[in-house]
Amino acid sequence: MTFVTGEHTTYYKPICKSNQLICGYGHIALITGWTVKQTLVKHLSPKEFAVIGNLYSPTRGITPLIRNLLANPHVRFVVILNATQEDKNAGACDCLLDFFRNGFQEGKSDTGRKCWLINSETKGYIDFEIDAKALDILRNSIRWEEVKTISEAVSRVKFFSQNKNVEAWGNPLEFKEVVTISHVLPGSRYGHRIEGQTIAETWIKILHKIRKTGTIRNTEYGEWQELIDIMAIVTDEPSDFYFPEPNYLSIERQNLQNYIEQMLSDLSSQEGVEYTYGKRLRSWFKQDQIEQVIKKLTLDINSSRAVMSLWDVHDHEGNDNPPCLNHIWLRVVENELSLTATFRSNDMFSAWPANAMGLRALQQHILDNINQRASYSLKMGPLITVSQSAHIYSDCWEYADRLIDEQYAKICQKRDFNDPSGSFVITLQNNTIIVEHTTPGTGEIVNCYTGKSARKLYQQIASNCPSLQVEHAMYLGTELQKAEIALSNSQTYLYIQDQPLSILTKAIKPVG
């Protein structure tokens, strides 16, 4: 069946991401890349376009776009607005253009999933469940055009919309979607502490934590899995940033410098470009807040007032894109400068690695300036992010799960046993279990527990040291149980910490 859309009666019916799209009655899809779509819709009437939508990511955004185009065969024109620096960084519009220009081939995603790979310098994926023939029909049936400015986009849409009697290329097509099922384990919802040496390592731990115990909920953007208040502590990110090889992060090294500039500089705002954090920090409140905190700490290194605010009370009124990063605080302790940043809402898969790297660069900038101006030799302390709604969108669950499968076990294997809560030395003396609690590193004794029952001892230790690392606590439990067995069978067993229980030979059996 074919039908004629010249009368503008066919309403666009998205099958994916419907709440993120502005739909109309025309036969032109306007893809705005990273430009805010509201800046275009105000220049157009719903008769002139079929749909207006953003395209952010070449690996995750092109598939839903294509599914929607296949389900709406009356769309015969695509105008792609490839205008901003973010578009250049993400490469999604370039990759979509390459899909139309160069096609696709069978391949694998970075996480090993079979998919259609777009023939492009930018990695772009299309779900393998979509029939290749249908993709070719789409490529041959749609006229596409790249534009570089908002006004050009508007005028091309208006121009194409003058075409009357445009025929649909065929019947609507829909293809199966592979749904990633989540098995959520029980766990507390509020307040989580995650620590890692690098942003890459901390990220995997964050993904693991959210995927295992996060609450699945519906939002205006579709489904996501969320924990509330994740505090992520990155202790040792190197100054030139660690990118794993091959890079599994959701940011590429070549895009980092540009992101850092958006965090540190007051880039002049362009129509359609969302606020940048640099603008909020440098000029939004008619103050350069980065300079303010440098001056504050230079004058008083002990100040607890080194605060920067990004949330504007007016953000409640009619701002469609209020900042996710809201508050930054710096603190010097024992010659280290730490930076703590609070996000009201944080996309932990797609945005957190870039957010964390930008903040780390800001921390370095502030440190360098304080050291220069006040001849201090402060060192970089940890970067701490507090993500209030810490979420992973459902379309990233599959990627996140594969990454967790590949990386999480490796990270757990290379853990050290330096529990900041200290260590425990267990011995048997005078028919009693002695447990000495020592400081990490120097091994000074800070407490001593004595008794005959493993359970009573671990209960005392647990109540005194509630922040023991999980594996350390489990280890202590097994050691204490071994000590109790040896104590109640002192003629048979010898207890030595970290050794298997050994059976006493006659020669070394204790007397009496």
Ligand X SMILES: O=c1ccn([C@H]2C[C@H](O)[C@@H](COP(=O)(O)O)O2)c(=O)[nH]1
- List residues binding ligand X (CB under 6 A): 322, 324-325, 345-347, 351, 355
Question: Could you count the other beta carbons within 10 Å of the beta carbon of residue 35?
Answer: 25
Closest distance to ligand X from the beta carbon of 348 (Å):
7
Query: Two tokens at 3?
Result: 């039908």
- The secondary structure element, H or E, covering residue 188 is none
How far apart CA 313 and CA 285 sit, in angstroms, is 11
C-beta closer to ligand X: residue 352 or 495: 352
Closest distance to ligand X from the beta carbon of 324 (Å):
4
C-beta closer to ligand X: residue 221 or 329: 221
Name residue 437's beta-bridge partners.
424, 447
- What backbone phi and psi angles, to 5 degrees, belong to 184? -85, 125
- What backbone phi and psi angles, to 5 degrees, belong to 387? -105, 115
Distances in whole angstroms, Cα of residue 210 to Cα of each of 141, 224, 345, 359, 376: 42, 10, 14, 22, 40
C-beta closer to ligand X: residue 77 or 203: 203
C-beta closer to ligand X: residue 119 or 345: 345
How far apart CA 241 and CA 259 sit, in angstroms, is 13
C-beta closer to ligand X: residue 325 or 361: 325
How far apart CA 238 and CA 260 sit, in angstroms, is 15
C-beta closer to ligand X: residue 69 or 230: 230
> Which residue, chain included where needed, has tokens 């229980």?
501
Q: Give the burial class of 416: count Cβ atoms within 10 A of its Cβ; 0-12 exposed, 13-18 middle, 19 or more buried.
A: exposed
How far apart CA 22 and CA 10 sit, in angstroms, is 14
C-beta closer to ligand X: residue 237 or 347: 347
DSSP 181: P
C-beta closer to ligand X: residue 301 or 351: 351
- The secondary structure element, H or E, covering residue 2 is none
- The secondary structure element, H or E, covering residue 40 is helix 38-41
Distances in whole angstroms, Cα of residue 38 to Cα of each of 30, 272, 428: 12, 8, 73
C-beta closer to ligand X: residue 133 or 314: 314
Closest distance to ligand X from the beta carbon of 184 (Å):
20
How far apart CA 236 and CA 233 sit, in angstroms, is 9
- Beta carbons of 39 and 54 less than 8 angstroms apart: no
Q: Determine the 3-state secondary structure of 351 from DSSP.
A: coil
Closest distance to ligand X from the beta carbon of 270 (Å):
18
- Beta carbons of 278 and 362 less than 8 angstroms apart: no
C-beta closer to ligand X: residue 72 or 394: 394
Looking at 375-501, list the stretches that DSSP marks H as alpha helix, in order from N- to C-terminal side.
397-413, 454-464, 470-488
Closest distance to ligand X from the beta carbon of 444 (Å):
43
Closest distance to ligand X from the beta carbon of 357 (Å):
12
C-beta closer to ligand X: residue 153 or 232: 232
Closest distance to ligand X from the beta carbon of 339 (Å):
15
- Beta carbons of 435 and 480 less than 8 angstroms apart: yes
Closest distance to ligand X from the beta carbon of 219 (Å):
8
